[in-house]
Every structure is written in structure tokens, then in C-alpha cells.
Structure 1
Amino acid sequence: MFNRWGKSAVENVWNISGELCSGNAIDDTTQTEAYNPFIKCVCTNGTCHITALRVYALDIVGDIPEELWTLTHLTNLYACLISPSSIFQTRNLGQNYLTGTLPPAIGNLTDMQYLSLGINSLSGELPKELGNLTELLILGLGTNNFSGSLPSELGNLLKLEQLYLDSSGFSGQIPPTFANLKNLVTVWASDMNLTGQIPDFIGNWSKLTTLRFQGNSFEGPIPSSFSNLTSLTELRISEISNGSSSLAFVRNMKSLTVLVLRNNNISDSIPSNIGEFQNLTQLDLSFNNITGQIPETLFNLSSLQYLFLGDNKLNGTIPTQIGSTLRNM
């Protein structure tokens, strides 16, 4: 595969003259920037299996080799071509992407725990066989050119903890089978064309700490069941049309550091207990129909750095001491 991609291992890191499954491939070496490309093997009774493959930010272009789908002992595949931190330092991203579709054969990699294919140019519909990877803990597909809806079979990934889908191209409604994904901790699903209402069952994802649902085509209201998500530290929802939403569901989310509910047709007042959200660094409730006065306790949030309340129907006065209380803004 490396030959097809025009890449070779670093000579002082890997045994490139003989058996790849030797040296750093089978010792306690971990995946770091110095080991890229990276191979990890497990050898028993004279038989070696590749269990981890890392191909990161190496300017690889073209389809994923079919041989990859025969590595059925893989538990970790990291094939992001551009790291999130380097997106803004790279100009000609079009020359750095893996292309083509994901074949049904990906369902053969049933030992997979970490699958990261984000920031490429993969296309086509996601194969339903991805639902066979029931050991998955992390699935990253963001920033690609996929099409179609999310397969209902992804609801089989009961161990999944992190799901990254931002800007991946998917459309349609969130499948009802996703109600099974109760171990999710992080969900990024912004800038796609997800439609319909945000499902009530997401309120049962009680382990969630981060949820991003910005820039889709959802319809309101925001489910009241979200009040169960008291472990959230980051909640971002925006551009919800129709259906008036309330802010009652946020009252007990006192662990939040980021709360962005921009342009969601919210018709309510700011919760009176907002002053108890002492960890808040960013609050954006702009472009809604929020009424009433701004609670005075909001101006006691000493950690707050960004506050956006514009384009609402708020009234009353702003305390003159705002500059001394919101010291980090």
C-alpha cells in the first residue's frame, strides 16, 4: 500500500529491508508524529497480523487500496490527510485528499476500534456494512463528500463513544436506530443537510459532554428531553426552522462552558438561574425571539469571554458595572 501511495517508512524507524513486523512494529512504541506512516503488528505462533495503520498528513492522493480491507485484524486505522490544526495553514487542499468510495468490504474489519477517515475527499453513500464494526469506539468521517443518508445499521455500534460527521455531506433524518448509541460522549454533526426534528431519544444519551448540531436543516422545537443532558460541557445548535423552542431544557446544564443556540426560533426568556453557570466562557443566544430582561446574575459570570444576545426582543437596562464584573470579555 505504501508503494502505491508513493510513501516509504523512515529508515531509522522501521525495518524496511526485511520483515516489517519487527522492531518498532511490535515493541511498546506508540503512535506519535515521529512514527508516520505507522504500522503495529501482533505476532503469535509465527503468524503476524497488522493491527494499527497510521497515514497522517502525507499529501496522499487517490483511492484507498483494496488491500486495506483484507487487514481484518485492524483495530486502529488513522488515515486523515490533513490535521485539524493545519487546515488553515494549507492552501491547496484539493491535492491532498483520498478519493473514491468506501466499499462494503469495510465491514470485514470487525476488530476495528478507531476509524478516522476525516478531512479527505471520499464520496458516495456510506456502506451499511459499517454497522458490522461493533467494537468501534471512535468513528471520524468529517470533511468529506459523502452523499445520501446515514445508514440505520450504524445503530449497531453500541460501544461508540465519539462520532465526528461535520461537513461530511450526509443528508436526511437521523435514523431511529441511533437511539441505541447510549455510550456517546462526543458528537459533531454540523454543516450537513440533516432534516426533520432533532430526535427526542438524544435526551437519553446521558453520557454526552459535547454536542454540535449547527448548520443543518432541522425543524423545531428543540426537544425538551435535552434537559436530561446534565453532563454537557459544550452545546451548539443553530439554524433550526419552524417550531418555537423554549430555553427550559438548559436550566440544569450547569457544567456548560460553551452554549450556542443561535437562530433557533427560541421564544422564551433567559433562564433566571443563568448566574449559576459559572463555567460559561461563551454564550450565544442571538437571532431568536427571546424576550424580557437580561438577568442581573448573568453579569456575574466572571469566566465569560464571549456574549452574543443581538437580534432578540430583550428590554430593560444593562448594569453600569458590566465592565468590572465581566472582566474576561
Structure 2
Amino acid sequence: MGGSSFSSPLMQASSIATAVTVFFGFFLDGAESLTTHPSEARAINSVFKKWGISAKPNIWNISGEPCSGEAINNAASLLDRKYNPFIKCDCSNDETCHITGLMVNELVVGEIPEELWNLTYLSHLNLNYNHLTGSLSPAVGNLTRMKYLVLGFNALSGELPKELGNLTELLSLGLGKTNFSGSIPSELGNLVKLKKLHIDSSGLSGQIPPTFANLINLERVWASDVELTGKIPDFIGNWSKLTLLKLQGNSFEGKIPSSFSNLKSLTDLDLSFNSITGQIPESLFNLSSLSSLFLGNNKLSRPIPTQISQSLLNIDLSYNNLSGRLPSWPN
């Protein structure tokens, strides 16, 4: 029967099993044998299917494995738009890869799928510049490993869920240029590691919650055109690491807190287009790091301070009720 061409059923089964193992195992040698955690693979595939997008060929998701290619390349960055859309994975446990980063920009129209909140190993999520609609689910609170959350430049609406306060590892929160409504949840005061807060033109309103006194690690705050009301809180003077504070275009009233004299690291301060009254604290003109001071279009009155720090290069006090002249800049 031509024994050289004969193969037993056992041999055939062995060959098929080997082929199946190689195909579904996605390269079995070394680090490339790692696979994405099954629940996370299902979640990311479902999210991309609902959004009608897919990974770029030969970049990641190679052979149907999400954590492959550039997704496991430490040199590849979520900030590099050439990979958009892109995920990053952590395979350090030598058995299973977890999806830790997701970037999708300028690609999506529609709501955020609920499956996204199952990616609980995410530490970076950047969904800027899409046309996302609907509300932000309370399930966002599941992402307790999150460090960088950026949802700006979208049409997201509704009130911010208080569950955002669960993200206590958060370093940066970007919600600017959105259509949210209601007040800032007091639970955001739990984000004590937060360094950057961007809520410009987000639709939020009301007073800055007293719990924000806890946010002493803030370095940069953009909160312009948000209809914030009441007095500017004194506790902002305890945000000693603050380098930039922009609160223009709100409805603040009352005086500029004298505690601002403690903001020794502040380089940019913009409180213009509010209803702030009283005298400008002379200490603002003598903060050693302050280079830009914008207080125009308020109801400030009384004499202008007579001393100006050498660091202060840009000043706008227009459209107030001030008296006196601005002193000459020191040589």
C-alpha cells in the first residue's frame, strides 16, 4: 500500500493537535506565548465592535491577540497618534497580559459601551476628540487603578457620577469641552493624588466643594467658563504646589483670598470675567514665581499696589474700578 505514504489515525490526530495548538496558542515560545486575559479580550473586542473601529494592521491585535505587537512594546506610547486606536498591555506576571491603556481619538460617534468598565486594569484612558454622547456611567468607579483619565472634547452629558471619587490613584482628570450638567460631586475630594484637573467649558456649575481642601497635590487647574459660583475658597491657598490656576469666565464674587500669598510656585493666575470685589492683595504682585496675572473684567476697586515682582511680565487689570497707576517694572 506504499507504506511511505501511510499515516495512522493516531499520527493524523497528533498532527492536527499540533497545528491547532500553534494556531490558537499564538506563538508558544518565550514572551510571545502570553495571552490577553480572556475577559479583557472579550471586553475590548466588544467595545471596538460597537464603535465600528479596529486595530491598524500589523500594529497590535496581531493574529487576533490584543496584547501583541506594539501593545507590548515598552517604547510605544499612547501619546503617539500614529497608533490610533491603540492599547497598551502589562505582561509582567509571565502568564497573562492585562490591558492597562486605551487611546481612541477622533474616530468614534456614539455612547461609551458598558463593556469598557470591565477593563479594570486600565491606568490610562484617553478618549479625547471624539463625538461621544450620553452620560458617564457610575461603573467608571470600577477603574480603581486609573491614573490618567481624559474624556474631553466630546458631547457627553448628564451629571458627573459620584463614583469618580473611587479613582483614588488618579493623577490627571480631563473633562473639558463637554456637555455635563449639575454640580461638582463632593466625592472628587477623595482624589488626593490628583495633580491636573481640566474642567473648562464642561457644563458644570455651582460652588467648589469644601472637600477640595484635600487636593493639596494639585499643580495645574483649568476651570474656566464653568459657571462656578460663591466665593473663591480660602483653602486654594493651601494648594502649595499649584503652578497654574485659571478660573476666568465664572460667577465668583467676594474678595481674592489673602491665602493666595502662600502660592509660591504659581506662575499663571487668571481670575478675569468674574464678579470679584475688593482690593487686589498686594502679595499677588510679589509672588516670586508669578509671571502672568489676569484680573480684568471684575469689580475690583481701591488703589493698585505699588510694588511689582521682577518675575511678573504680563498683567491685565482692565475693566475694574481701580484707582492709581500701575508702577513701572523694575529694571
TM-score bracket for this pair, using the shorter chain length: 0.7 to 0.9
Once the two structures are superposed, the pairs formed by residues 26-175 of structure 1 within 5 Å of their partners are 26-28=72-74, 29-31=76-78, 32-43=80-91, 44-58=93-107, 60-81=108-129, 96-175=130-209
The structural deviation recorded for 1:2 is 1.8
The structural deviation recorded for 1:233 is 0.7
> Hey, what does 2:4 align to over in structure 1?
none
Structure 2 unmatched ranges of 5 or more: 1-46
After superposition, what is the alpha-carbon deviation per residue over 1:113-146, rounded to whole angstroms, capped at 9, x for unaligned?
0000001010000010100000000000011010
Distance 2:221 2:320 in 1: 24
Equivalent position to 1:218, from 246, 249, 252: 252
Instruction: Decide whether the 8 Å contact of 1:245 with 1:265 is kept in 2.
Output: no
Once the two structures are superposed, the pairs formed by residues 195-274 of structure 1 within 5 Å of their partners are 195-241=229-275, 243-274=277-308
2:327 pairs with 1:278: no
The one-letter amino acid of 1:30's match is: S
Q: Quick one: structure 1 residues 69 and 121, their matched pair in 2 at CA, closer, same or farther if it must change by over 3 Å?
A: same
Structure 1 stretch displaced more, 25-34 or 69-78:
25-34
Instruction: Decide whether the 8 Å contact of 2:196 with 2:218 is kept in 1.
Output: yes
**RMSD, matched Cα:** 1.5
The structural deviation recorded for 1:248 is 1.7
Distance 2:229 2:62 in 1: 50
Corresponding residue pairs, total: 282
The structural deviation recorded for 1:45 is 4.4
> Hey, what does 2:322 align to over in structure 1?
290
TM-score, normalised on structure 2? 0.82
The percentage of counterpart residues that share the same residue type is 62
Distance 1:166 1:53 in 2: 23
Distance 1:243 1:179 in 2: 23
Higher helix share: 2
Instruction: Decide whether the 8 Å contact of 1:139 with 1:164 is kept in 2.
Output: yes
> Hey, what does 1:25 align to over in structure 2?
71
1:155 is paired with a residue of what secondary structure? helix
> Hey, what does 2:19 align to over in structure 1?
none
Q: Quick one: structure 1 residues 158 and 107, their matched pair in 2 at CA, closer, same or farther if it must change by over 3 Å?
A: same
2:300 is paired with a residue of what secondary structure? coil
Instruction: Decide whether the 8 Å contact of 1:51 with 1:73 is kept in 2.
Output: yes
1:171 is paired with a residue of what secondary structure? coil
Instruction: Decide whether the 8 Å contact of 1:263 with 1:286 is kept in 2.
Output: yes
Instruction: Decide whether the 8 Å contact of 1:247 with 1:266 is kept in 2.
Output: no
Displacement over 4 Å in runs of 4+: none
The structural deviation recorded for 1:264 is 2.1
Distance 2:170 2:160 in 1: 16
The one-letter amino acid of 2:225's match is: D
Distance 2:327 2:185 in 1: 44
After superposition, what is the alpha-carbon deviation per residue over 1:137-181, rounded to whole angstroms, capped at 9, x for unaligned?
000001101011000000000000000000000111110000000
Equivalent position to 2:61, from 1, 11, 15: 15
Instruction: Decide whether the 8 Å contact of 1:237 with 1:260 is kept in 2.
Output: yes
The structural deviation recorded for 1:242 is 5.8
The structural deviation recorded for 1:14 is 1.7
Distance 2:264 2:286 in 1: 6
> Hey, what does 2:11 align to over in structure 1?
none
After superposition, what is the alpha-carbon deviation per residue over 1:44-82, rounded to whole angstroms, capped at 9, x for unaligned?
243221100001222x1100111100111100000102x
Instruction: Decide whether the 8 Å contact of 2:100 with 2:122 is kept in 1.
Output: yes
Instruction: Decide whether the 8 Å contact of 1:238 with 1:260 is kept in 2.
Output: yes
Distance 2:225 2:279 in 1: 21
The structural deviation recorded for 1:16 is 3.8
After superposition, what is the alpha-carbon deviation per residue over 1:254-276, rounded to whole angstroms, capped at 9, x for unaligned?
322221111222223333222x3
1:98 is paired with a residue of what secondary structure? strand
Instruction: Decide whether the 8 Å contact of 2:146 with 2:169 is kept in 1.
Output: yes
Instruction: Decide whether the 8 Å contact of 2:293 with 2:312 is kept in 1.
Output: no
Instruction: Decide whether the 8 Å contact of 2:286 with 2:307 is kept in 1.
Output: no
After superposition, what is the alpha-carbon deviation per residue over 1:193-230, rounded to whole angstroms, capped at 9, x for unaligned?
11100100000001000000001111121111111112
Distance 1:135 1:147 in 2: 25
> Hey, what does 1:2 align to over in structure 2?
48
The structural deviation recorded for 1:243 is 3.5
1:267 is paired with a residue of what secondary structure? strand
Distance 2:276 2:219 in 1: 28
